[in-house]
Structure 1
């Protein structure tokens, strides 16, 4: 992955507002990445200073190894999860 794409992914993640969520696929599409997996890679390697907790799987669930912390951070921002799943229709960040 080139540095430009890496930085675009970081910028998109950084722009997700508090109290909303986005999916790996949403971020990939906005950043022009070929696959949502690249978003996960950037967050895993260089996402400690980003609001990584606002990025979810396409079904509204958090990454299993981060679920407790991710859901707690989201709850603190007013994002509710029912059964470990966030209602994307309600909380998904929409840009327009």
Structure 2
């Protein structure tokens, strides 16, 4: 039996999700569903849960909702990253978040075409 506590170990699925998040190039994004599809396991909610629990150490702002809305509670920090990386944005629209831009998903979405051969 291992001396390591299960709480100290990152679940294997979480490791895989975080590895994909690290592959997304600056200025590009993938949706929660895109990552689940890439991994051929889980779904958007499972990926979202992993990002909520463990995503702080990876470029979390590159993993987004399918509609391009900024993550509630993290809009300003994410927006700073998007602007610094040149991520395509759409004009601000009035929403429950005030006047916040959205990601231009047609231009920002990354489909993994630059995926390294392993």
Same fold (TM over 0.5): yes
Question: What pairs with 1:9-88 in structure 2 (closer than 5 Å)?
Answer: 9-82=17-90, 83=92, 84-88=101-105
> Which of the pair is proportionally richer in strand?
2
Q: C-alpha separation between the residues in 1 aligned to 2:70 and 2:45? A: 14
RMSD over aligned Cα, in angstroms?
A: 1.6
Contact 2:27 2:88 in 1 (8 A): no
Q: CA deviation at 1:95?
A: 2.0
The worse-fitting range, judged by mean Cα deviation, of 81-90 and 51-60 is: 81-90
User: Structure 2 length as normaliser, TM-score?
Assistant: 0.73
Question: Which structure has the higher relative contact order (CA within 8 Å, separation 6+)?
Answer: 1
- Decide whether aligned partners of structure 1 residues 7 and 73 sit closer, same or farther in structure 2, where only a CA change above 3 A counts: same
User: Runs of 5+ in structure 1 lacking a partner?
Assistant: none
- Decide whether aligned partners of structure 1 residues 34 and 91 sit closer, same or farther in structure 2, where only a CA change above 3 A counts: same
- The alignment covers a number of residue pairs equal to 95
Q: C-alpha separation between the residues in 2 aligned to 1:9 and 1:33? A: 10
Larger radius of gyration: 2
Contact 2:26 2:85 in 1 (8 A): yes
